[in-house]
Amino acid sequence: MRFSELVVKLCAALLFSLALPGAHATDASSKESQWVEAAPAGAVQWFEQGQVARVGGLFDESLQLFRKAAALGSSAALSAIGDLYQSGLAVAQSAREALLWYRKAAATGDAEGQARLGLALVRHGTAAELKTGLALIRQSVAAGSAYGQYALGYLHLHGKGVPRDEDLAYSLLNAASGRGEVAAQSLLGQMYLDGKGVQKHSAMALELLSEAARSGDAQAQSRLGAMFAEGWGVERNEHEAAYWFERAGERGNLDGQTRLAVLLLDGEQVRTDPLKAIELLRQAATAGHALAQFHLALCFLQGRGVPQDPTQGQSLLRQLAKAGLPEASSYLKEHSL
């Protein structure tokens, strides 16, 4: 475990234990319920402890704390529970359940909840719900919501339901990022990394992605890992890359999980582990991640971590090429398969 990870875990544990009169009880089966019940009274305290648990990767604990805060009237906790359902952390992933919790938050008049509901409706709703979602997002921006600024910036960046306008997207995302909105920091960092809507700027990408990654944003963790794996604007460091890929994978990010598997297969600085790599690739491939399926096909072709099976490997590559994956098409052509 890296030192920085240990610090986060210890801080989370310390915060919980300070509120726990029976912190040294030996009954392991009751420890979780003990610290949950003994946490400081009040919705704000429950929510803040839930946030600490979430950033520390203690997702089951964060869900319990958010539920406690929500029961006491915290609209932020309602949104946070929606986020867990959206990401599939501590609960089965469900856009429907996420919408339910976002609706509850929005119904309290909370601008952040309205923004989250609005973005979810634009992403997953019907044509009529898309209009409702845009109205909610604009309403939240008018009310001063940083997440609303992120949501509207995201939509303008991708031209989703609104005209594509990279300049406006940058302005909104930069404003939200400056106010500490993690999702905006993550997206803006990716823009600087890819040169999308802005000039490429590795130093800015590193700063923004690092900030968002430390706050638990899975996409930022994955892209930060890629910077270290590839040496994009930083010294190449596979250990640092593996750390961030693993954190992203723990939060359900299939790209991070796949890239960790590739490091465990082909790494030069980290200890390789083909069996663990295959386990990770199978999980991501089963979830539909095309690049995981591609690398799994190569493993079957080469007999790495699995019994060699060229027939299965080639069949999977052809399926991926037919589905439009360029890596699969290039490999088939290059190897005359």
Run of H or E residues at 91: none
Residues 173 and 162 reside in one and the same domain = yes
Task: Return the closest-CA partner of residue 157 out of 103, 126, 124, 119.
Answer: 119
46 inside domain: yes
Q: Residue 42: what pLDDT?
A: 86
Which range (8-22, 261-275, 301-315) has the least confidence? 8-22
Residues 17 and 77 reside in one and the same domain = yes
Cβ contacts of 78 within 8 Å, gap of 6 or more: 70, 101, 102, 104, 105, 108, 110, 113
* pLDDT-derived band at 5, boundaries 50, 70, 90: very low
Parent domain of 87: 1-22+31-108
Residues 7 and 97 reside in one and the same domain = yes
212 inside domain: no
For 23, the token pair is: 């912190």
Q: Residue 261: what pLDDT?
A: 97
Buried b (16+ CB within 10 A) or exposed e, 63-84: bbbbbbbbeeebbbbbbbbbbb
pLDDT over 70 (residue 286): yes
Residues 61 and 116 reside in one and the same domain = no
* pLDDT-derived band at 304, boundaries 50, 70, 90: very high
111-166 pLDDT, tens digit each: 999 999 999 999 988 999 999 999 999 999 999 999 999 999 999 999 999 999 99
Residues 114 and 104 reside in one and the same domain = no
Q: What is the CA radius of gyration of the chain?
A: 22
38-75 pLDDT, tens digit each: 334 588 999 999 999 999 999 999 999 999 999 999 99
132 inside domain: yes
Task: Report pTM.
Answer: 0.84
